[in-house]
Structure 1
Amino acid sequence: MASTNGTLLHRLLGWTGSFGMSDARAFLQARVTFYAKIIVGILASFWVFARLGYLAHGYDVFLATLLDPLSIAHLALTIGMALDWAFLSHGERKLWMLHAYESVGTIMLSALIGLMVHMLPDGMSAMVATPMLALILVVRASMVPSSAVRTIAIGLTSTAALCVATYLTLEPGADPLDFGGRAVQVVTMAGWGVAFSVITGIISRVIYGLTERVREALELGQYRLVEKLGEGAMGAVYRAEHALLKRPTAVKLLPPDKAGDEAIRRFEREVVETSNLANPHTVAIYDFGRTPDGLFYYAMEYLDGPDLQDLVEIDGPQAPGRVVHILHGMAESLREAHAEGLVHRDVKPANVMIMDHRGGLTDMVKLVDFGLVQEVHGVKGADGTENVLASREHAIVGTPLYLAPEAITAPDDVDGRADIYALGAVAYFLLTGGPVFEAQSVVEVCADHLHSPPVSPSVRLGKSLPTDFEALVLRCLAKEPGDRFDADGLIAALDALDVAPWTDTDAQAWWRSTGNAVHGYLESKRGGSTPPGPMSVTIGQRHGTLPLGGETDKV
C-alpha cells in the first residue's frame, strides 16, 4: 500500500499523495486544463498581433497573409490546442493521461513550433521561437504541479525538440556562422532553452515545495484533513481520513491560545474516560494528541447529519413521538455515562446529532462532546448560543439556555441530574421551537433558571400536547435536583408514555421528503465543500492512542 507521501517515483513525477487519489486527479486536471487555456491564449495572441502588423501595410497585404502557409499552420496549431482544452474541460481524465498531456504535449508543441519557423524571414527563427518556448515552459512550471527534476527534464527535452525541428527545416545558408544561418539560430535557441529549463526548474521547486508543506500541514498523526465542517468558540472541526483505514473521521482542533494547560490536562483525562463509553447513542472517540507547536486535537466518529438545532431550523417544532424517540436515545447515552461517574455538562441541541441511517437503525441519535470542557468567556458558538464555560475551578460549565440551576450556584457540585435538566430543556426546544427561557442577557437567563417556573410547552406552542409527556418534560425542568428523574427513571417514564410512536416508516418518510433540504442546509452552513486552507501545523507525536471502537461505516 502506498504511503501518503507517495513513492520516490511519484515524487519525481510531481505526484502528491498516492497514485489514483481522486482529489489529486481532480486538482491536476484543473491545473492542466488551465495550462492548455493559457497556451491557447498565447498562440491566438501571437496570430492576431501578427495579422494586425500586416494590416498596417495595407488591407491587400493583410488579406494575402491570411492564406500564407505560416499563418495557416499557426492557426491550425491554435485550433488544435483549443480542441485539447475542450477535451480536458469536460469529463474526468485519468491521472496518467493528464501527466502525458502536460509533458509529451509540451515537447510536441515545441517541436511543431520548430517545424514552423523556417517559414519566417531569414534570421527571425530564434527571435520568434525562443520567447515562445520561454512562455510555454514558464506557464507550465507555474500552472502544473511538478518536481524541479521533472520540470528541468521536460524543459531540456522541449528545447532539444525545438532545435532538432528547426535544424531539419532551415536552409543551411552560404555562411553557417552568419547571424541568419542555421547553426547560429539553433545554438541561440539551445542556449536560451537550457537557461529557461533551469529557471523553470527553480519555479517548480518553490511551488512544489510549498504544495508539499501545505499537504503535510493538513496531516495530523495518522489523519489527513479533507474538509472544514465548521468552527466554534473552541476551534475548528474537519472531516478527515485515516491514512491506513481510509475511515471517515471528524477531527477537532483546539489552538493553544484557546485552552490553557489546566484545561488541556482535564480535557485529556476526560477524552480517555469518554473513550470507554460504548453506548451506540454516544459518539465514539478514536484518538487524541498534541503537535509540537501546541495544537491539541482529537479524532472521533464522523457523523454526517444535522444536529437538533439544525433540525428545528429546517423543520420547526417536532412531533411528540419523534421527540420521545430522540430523548430515549439521549437518555440511554447519559445512563451509561452517569453509571461511569461522567457528567456531560453541556447537553444542548447543537451537541445532539441525528442521522437517517447508522448501524442499521433509522433516525439514529448521537450525543457528542461528552464532558469536553471549554474555556471561553461570552463567545457565541456555531449554534448562536453563548458559551459560558470552562475548566477552571468554580467556573460555570455549559450553555446558559440549557443550564441547570445548581450548575449556576454550585458548578463544582453538579451530578447527572444537571444533564437531565438540560435534556428537559432540549425536549422543550424540540416541542416548541424555542428555549425554555428567553431573555435579553445571560444574567436574566440564569435568573430565570433559578427562580422562574417554565411556561408549559403546550401554552408556548399554542396547541395541545400529550399531558403525560408535558408533565415529564416539566419534571425534568424541576428546580431541585431531587425532584427530577435519574437516567433510569427517565427511560422508564418515556417507555410508559401514551404517545403515538415514531416508527421506522415515519422516519423513512421524513428523510425521503426532507433529506435533500437537510443536506442543502448543511452544505450552505459549511460554505460548500471548500477544503481547508493552509495551516501552520507540524505533524505531531500523539499523546496517546485509544482503542478503535464504535461504528466505523461511512455515514
Structure 2
Amino acid sequence: MKSCPICRRLFADDAGFCPVDGVALMAAADVAPELDPDDPRVGQHLADRYQVRRIVADGGMGRVYEALDLQAGRRVALKVLHNDVARDKVALERFKREYEISQLLPHEHIAEVYDFLKLADGTYALAMDFLEGEELRALLKRDKTVRPARLVRMLSQIAIGLDDAHRRQLIHRDIKPDNVYLCGTHEGDVVKLLDFGSVKDKSEGAKKLTVMGTTIGSPFYMSPEQAQGLDTLDARADVWALAAISYESLTRKVPFSGNNGPSILLAILTQDPVPASQVAREQDVPYPVPPTVDAVLTEAFAKDPSKRVATVGLLADRLGHAYGLQGSHRDWAYAPEQPLQESIDLALPELMRAKTVRGVEEADPFATVEADPFATTAMGGGVGGPVGHDKEGMSTGELQAVLAPKGPPVLLILGLVVGLAILFAAGVLAVFVLL
C-alpha cells in the first residue's frame, strides 16, 4: 500500500500521485498517521491488526476510520461503535448482524464486512470494504435528480445483488438513498448496497429478536406491510422501497410525505402517489418522465403485495423498458452509461406522447408473465410503528387509527399486537417488534 504524506490517505501500490493533494505517494510504512489529540485511536494498532490512519466520518452510532489491515495488506473502513451505543444490546446485535450476513452473502454489489472486533476499551468495530464515492443521498442533495440511464444502471446492479439475497430468504428492510453507495468509474457507477444489519432472515430456524423501542425501516420508503409490522413481509417490501427511491430520483419528491412518522405511514396506507410524470413536470426536472414509467411505479406501489411487481429484477426490467431500452437489467447493469442515455433520448419523444395506462402488460412491450413466488392466502402479524422522522408520540388509539383500513382498500391487520408502549419523553414512539 502507498500513502499521501500530506493527507495520509491510503492508495493501491500502482497509484503514483494523490488526487487530493497532487503530491507523489510514498510507501504506507514510511508515512506515519497524523495523531489526533482528541482521538487516541488514530495511530493505534487495533486488535494487533488494524493501523488507524485517519478519521473519515462521524455518526450517531459511531465513528468511521480509514485503516490499514496489516495482515491482508489492504485499506479498510473501520466502523467503531460509540461506547454508549455498544452498551445497548439491541444496537450491538444489529451491528454484529452486518458481519454475519456479509459472511453468508458475499456479492460484488453488497459492501463486504471482513471482521467483527471487540476492542480493548470494551467497544466494538467492523472492518469493512473501503469505498470511494458517495451515497445516493449525497447525490440527490446536490443534483436533486438522477438522469434515467444512471438510475436504470443503479437499479439493475442493486437488483442483481438483492435478488441473490432474496433467494436466500434475506429481506433488507431498510433500503433508502443513504444505503446505496455509488463508486464512480469512467463507464458509470459501481453500486454497493450498505447496512444489512436490519435484515429479516426468513429461512427456517433463523434467529429472531424481540426488541423494545425499535422499529425497522425508514418511513418514506416503507411498504404498507412493513409499516403494519406484518410477519408475512417478504422481498416485495424491498421492491416497494426501490420504487420509492426511483420515484424520488426522477422527481425530487418522495412518493409519500408527511410532517412526522405517523402521518407518513398514514399516507402510505391510504393514499396513492401523484404520478411521477406529473410531479416531474411540476418540478421542472431536467429529464422528463414518460407516462410509461407511471404504469411501472403504480404496480410497484400496489398496497397488496400479491399485486405488486414480484422481484427487484423485474422492477428494473420494466423501468428500463418504460424508457425504451431493449434487453434486461443484466444487460444494462454493466453497459456504459452514455450509450444507454443516448438510446433513452432517442425513444423519449415517442414515449412522452404515450397515454398513461393501467397494467404493465400494456405499458411494457417487453414484459413477461411470471408466477408470483411469494403468493400467500392470508395476511397476518403484529403492528409496528414509525421511526426516524416522527416528532410526536401517539396514544394507543391514535396508533390503531393510523393502521386501521380506511379509504382505498388497504391490507387487513389480522394479527394481534405483539406489544405496545408509548414513550412521550422526547416525543418518540416505541413499540415491541419481532425482528
Regarding TM over 0.5, the answer is: yes
Q: Quick one: structure 1 residues 448 and 505, their matched pair in 2 at CA, closer, same or farther if it must change by over 3 Å?
A: closer
**C-alpha deviation, 1:491, in angstroms:** 4.3
Q: Are 1:423 and 2:242 an aligned pair? A: yes
Q: Quick one: structure 1 residues 24 and 433, their matched pair in 2 at CA, closer, same or farther if it must change by over 3 Å?
A: closer
Partner residue in 2 for 1:363? 189
Q: Are 1:326 and 2:189 an aligned pair? A: no
Q: Are 1:396 and 2:215 an aligned pair? A: yes
Q: Quick one: structure 1 residues 452 and 290, their matched pair in 2 at CA, closer, same or farther if it must change by over 3 Å?
A: same
Q: Quick one: structure 1 residues 346 and 211, their matched pair in 2 at CA, closer, same or farther if it must change by over 3 Å?
A: closer
Q: Where is the helix percentage greater, Structure 1 or Structure 2?
A: 1
Partner residue in 2 for 1:291? 119
**C-alpha deviation, 1:431, in angstroms:** 0.4
Q: Are 1:410 and 2:229 an aligned pair? A: yes
TM-score, length-scaled by structure 2: 0.60
| 1:282/1:366 contact within 8 Å kept | yes
Q: Are 1:449 and 2:268 an aligned pair? A: yes
Inter-partner Cα distance in structure 1 for 2:325 and 2:147: 9
Match of 2:315 among 484, 490, 503: 490
Inter-partner Cα distance in structure 1 for 2:236 and 2:271: 19
Partner residue in 2 for 1:506? 338
| Deviations 1:215-235 (CA, angstroms, capped at 9, x unpaired) | 564635522222322222322
Partner residue in 2 for 1:258? 85
**C-alpha deviation, 1:321, in angstroms:** 2.5
Q: Quick one: structure 1 residues 398 and 214, their matched pair in 2 at CA, closer, same or farther if it must change by over 3 Å?
A: closer
Give the letter aligned to residue 456 of structure 1: P
**C-alpha deviation, 1:422, in angstroms:** 0.8
Q: Are 1:300 and 2:128 an aligned pair? A: yes
Q: Are 1:244 and 2:71 an aligned pair? A: yes
Inter-partner Cα distance in structure 2 for 1:323 and 1:211: 41
SS in structure 2 at match of 1:286: strand
Inter-partner Cα distance in structure 1 for 2:147 and 2:7: 46
Give the letter aligned to residue 235 of structure 1: G
SS in structure 2 at match of 1:224: strand
Give 1:75-224 correspondences, 5 Å limit.
217=44, 219-224=46-51
Match of 2:175 among 335, 344, 347: 347
The alignment covers a number of residue pairs equal to: 300
Inter-partner Cα distance in structure 2 for 1:408 and 1:309: 22
| 2:114/2:128 contact within 8 Å kept | yes
| Deviations 1:309-367 (CA, angstroms, capped at 9, x unpaired) | 1112222212222212211111111101111111111100111011222xx96321111
Q: Quick one: structure 1 residues 284 and 361, their matched pair in 2 at CA, closer, same or farther if it must change by over 3 Å?
A: farther
| Deviations 1:362-404 (CA, angstroms, capped at 9, x unpaired) | 321111112347xxxxxxxxxxxxxxxx972684201111111
| 1:402/1:425 contact within 8 Å kept | yes
Inter-partner Cα distance in structure 1 for 2:274 and 2:227: 21
| Deviations 1:124-164 (CA, angstroms, capped at 9, x unpaired) | xxxxxxxxxxxxxxxxxxxxx9xxxxxxxxxxxxxxxxxxx
Q: Quick one: structure 1 residues 477 and 229, their matched pair in 2 at CA, closer, same or farther if it must change by over 3 Å?
A: farther
Match of 1:436 among 244, 255, 280: 255
Q: Quick one: structure 1 residues 229 and 480, their matched pair in 2 at CA, closer, same or farther if it must change by over 3 Å?
A: farther
Inter-partner Cα distance in structure 1 for 2:341 and 2:318: 27
SS in structure 2 at match of 1:241: strand
Q: Are 1:228 and 2:52 an aligned pair? A: no
Give the letter aligned to residue 235 of structure 2: G
Give the letter aligned to residue 407 of structure 1: Q
Q: Where is the strand percentage greater, Structure 1 or Structure 2?
A: 2
Partner residue in 1 for 2:392? none
Give 1:450-489 correspondences, 5 Å limit.
450-462=269-281, 464-487=288-311, 488-489=313-314
Q: What 5-or-longer segments of structure 1 have no aligned partner?
A: 1-17, 27-90, 96-144, 146-207, 374-389, 511-555
Give the letter aligned to residue 504 of structure 1: P
Partner residue in 1 for 2:165? 337
Q: Quick one: structure 1 residues 467 and 391, their matched pair in 2 at CA, closer, same or farther if it must change by over 3 Å?
A: farther
Partner residue in 2 for 1:316? 144
SS in structure 2 at match of 1:330: helix
Partner residue in 1 for 2:103? 275
Q: Quick one: structure 1 residues 474 and 221, their matched pair in 2 at CA, closer, same or farther if it must change by over 3 Å?
A: farther
| Deviations 1:478-502 (CA, angstroms, capped at 9, x unpaired) | 2222222232433443454443587
The answer to which of 318-327 and 428-437 deviates more is 318-327
| 1:279/1:332 contact within 8 Å kept | no
Q: Quick one: structure 1 residues 468 and 509, their matched pair in 2 at CA, closer, same or farther if it must change by over 3 Å?
A: closer
Inter-partner Cα distance in structure 2 for 1:309 and 1:211: 29
**C-alpha deviation, 1:265, in angstroms:** 3.3
Inter-partner Cα distance in structure 1 for 2:74 and 2:124: 21
Give the letter aligned to residue 70 of structure 2: A
Give the letter aligned to residue 466 of structure 1: P
Inter-partner Cα distance in structure 1 for 2:66 and 2:147: 31
| 1:342/1:371 contact within 8 Å kept | no
| 1:262/1:392 contact within 8 Å kept | yes
TM-score, length-scaled by structure 1: 0.48
The answer to which of 421-430 and 310-319 deviates more is 310-319
| Deviations 1:472-531 (CA, angstroms, capped at 9, x unpaired) | 223222222222223243344345444358752628999xxxxxxxxxxxxxxxxxxxxx
Q: Identity of aligned pairs, percent?
A: 29
| 2:42/2:54 contact within 8 Å kept | no
| 1:347/1:419 contact within 8 Å kept | yes
Inter-partner Cα distance in structure 1 for 2:260 and 2:293: 30
Q: Quick one: structure 1 residues 212 and 231, their matched pair in 2 at CA, closer, same or farther if it must change by over 3 Å?
A: closer
Give the letter aligned to residue 322 of structure 1: R
| 2:94/2:197 contact within 8 Å kept | no
Inter-partner Cα distance in structure 1 for 2:198 and 2:93: 11
